[in-house]
Every structure is written in C-alpha cells, then in structure tokens.
Amino acid sequence: MGKRSKLIAANWKEHPKSAAEAFALFRAVAKAPRAPGVEVVVCPPFLYLEEVIREFKRMAPPARAQLAIGAQDVFWEDQGAYTGEVGPAMLRSLGAKYVIVGHSERRRFEKETDAMINKKIAAALRDGLNVILCVGESLSVREKGVDVAKKFVAQQLAKDLKDVLPKAGSLLVAYEPIWAIGTGRSDKPEDAREMALFIKKLLKQTKQISVKFLYGGSVNGKNAADYVQLNDIDGALVGGASLKADEFKKIINAI
C-alpha cells in the first residue's frame, strides 16, 4: 500500500499582535521544505487573511506547491445585515481554500451550537471551501472512558453534519479533545488512532463518505511524528506550536 498523503494545518487563533509579525511568520513557514504528499494549510486571523493570501499569490508556483490558506471561521450567509461576520463566498473570492468550523473555543466563548455549526458547514461546502470540522470531548466526559468519548463525538458529528453530504475530499475531521488543547497534555497516539478508526467507520456507514482525520491538542515538534506517522491519522491541526516558525517546521519535517 502506498504512503498516504498528510495535511498539517496551522491555526494561529488571535495571534500575532501585528501584521508585520504575521507576514514574517507566514514567509518563514512558506519556505519550509515540504515532502511529497504533505500539504500545509495556514489559517491566520481574518484581519491578516487578505494580505497573507496576496503574499501567497505573489510566490512562484513551485513555492506555492502543497501550501494553502484557510480561515478560522465562517458565517452561514454569503452576505446580509450580519455585523462582523464573513461569508463563505467572500473567503472563496479572496482565494481561501479551507475553513475551520466548530472549534471548541468558539463553541465555548462564542456559544456556537451544533445547529449553527451545521449551517456553517453546509454554506462553506456549497461555496466550494474545504471544511475542517473540529470535534472533541471535555475532560469530564473522557474520564468516563474512551467509549463514552466516542459516543459524545458521534453525537456531535450527527448534529454537525445533519442533512449534509460532502463531496469527496471536501471534509476533514479534526479530533481535538478539549482537555488537550493548550494544556501540554496530549492524547495517547493509540487512543487518537482508535478515535480515527471510529470516526472514519461511522461516517462511512452513515454518510457513505471517506474523510481525512486530523489530530489536534498540544501537538508539537517532539510528539507530532507519534501521531501523523500512523496510517489512520492523516495529519494534525496545530495551535500554539504553529506560532513558532522553527517549531512548526519540526512538525512538518516529522512526517
């Protein structure tokens, strides 16, 4: 069996503080060598998105190979009286290829519900964006066992993907156990692989689709290979470590 393609997504969240820092970080990441079959997706804040994409388009074609830009969120309407929101058509017209939807921080701080996430996914897919859907359980759920965590994630997926039938390759599922995000406490690779197999089998049965599985939650240069070198884990969604160019390069090189 041939080596499976891998994807590493950088979620910059609300970083960095200045545009100059953002562009310097992007240029450094863009220069990092990428092995064949490895795609790197950079997701800056909306404020820097247009200029980062402009910088991306200025790069020579070989430098753009296996590199893409994504957004950290999207609204479910293309336009309208929705102050502060950014629609999928806007992102697509800029040149964004991916969008993160349902991150646990938005579920927590912005009070996003599964119904809202469902509408965002449907809209993003309709306008041709590739969706990175984030799911994952809290510590209180995980402490009840992996089987309980699987049930929780299955319920999230059922609600988030209700009446949604993604085209092949347009949906990626990022499993980010909430208790592992930004805590330095990552999931065991074998447990993450078990969740990957569970999610892939579930979506194959319920949606007749194959998806890429990304692991997220305190991924860094030291542990990235433990996850992404497993056949059933197709990559990683990286938070804090993606803000340090040298650390992020180590993650890319780990594949």
User: pLDDT digit of tens for each residue in the chain (255 aa)?
Assistant: 345 799 999 999 999 999 999 999 999 999 999 999 999 999 999 999 999 999 999 999 999 999 999 999 999 999 999 999 999 999 999 999 999 999 999 999 999 999 999 999 999 999 999 999 999 999 999 999 999 999 999 999 999 999 999 999 999 999 999 998 888 888 999 999 999 999 999 999 999 999 999 999 999 999 999 999 999 999 999 999 999 999 999 999 987
Assess contact for 144 and 128: CB atoms under 8 A: no
| pLDDT confidence of residue 255 | 79
The candidate with the shortest Cα–Cα distance to 77, out of 131, 120, 115, is: 120
| pLDDT confidence of residue 185 | 86
Task: Find the helix or strand (DSSP H, E) in which 55 lies.
Answer: helix 46-58
| pLDDT confidence of residue 2 | 44
| pLDDT confidence of residue 4 | 74
* Residues labelled catalytic: 103, 176
In the chain, how long is the greatest CA-to-CA distance?
51
Q: In whole angstroms, what is the distance from residue 151 CA to residue 4 CA? A: 28
What pTM was computed for the model?
A: 0.96
Q: Which domains does the chain have, with CATH numbers?
A: 6-253 (3.20.20.70)
